[in-house]
Amino acid sequence: MLAGKNIAKRGKFLESFLFNPPYASFPIETIFKDNKNVIHGLQLTINVIKGGVALALGYSGDEDSFAAISGWKPCLFVNSRDFICHGYIEHFKKRRKSDDVGVWGLISHHSLRNIVMKELKIRDVENSEPLHLLPSAILIENLSPPEESISPHKLRHWWKPDLNLRCTVYNYE
């Protein structure tokens, strides 16, 4: 993903197929899997904090490389039961609902971790950005029932000939 993003910044779009790519977020859904209200409440709280910090520190959605890499559409193969990569599903669904405007547009461009580290000058984040935040993608979700003995993060889940998949194209505009 890092190679694809860096090449896209130069105007070349690398055809990319990424299986179970990590989405850097706290696995709220894994911890509170039986309580949807708690999950939604925590997600809302985190997004409000992230948006508030970004607004207070003067961040805007235009200052990063989203537009520069928006033509790159990596194929992301994700499993909704895999807490390592399922964050991409919510990331793109929320972006589509809001048409990338307002606070969600702002928080979908920035990582709270990077904002705080940049402000505290903990490490050089001037030229770094969150790897998991993508403007566009072809999201392929594995909807097949899980095998009890196999972790949902295993590549083995993609080898079956009778997979139940949902493919959605997300374009940043």
The gap between the terminal CA atoms of the chain, to the nearest Å, is: 21
Give mean pLDDT, residues 70-82.
91
Give mean pLDDT, residues 83-95.
81
- Residue 89, pLDDT score: 87
pLDDT band, very low/low/confident/very high, at 62 (cuts 50, 70, 90): very low
Of residues 68 and 71, which shows the higher confidence score?
71
Of residues 54 and 109, which shows the higher confidence score?
54
- Residue 141, pLDDT score: 94
Domain that holds residue 97: 2-170
Give mean pLDDT, residues 108-123.
60
Count structural domains, the chain: 1
pLDDT band, very low/low/confident/very high, at 117 (cuts 50, 70, 90): low
Q: Is the pLDDT of residue 16 over 90?
A: yes
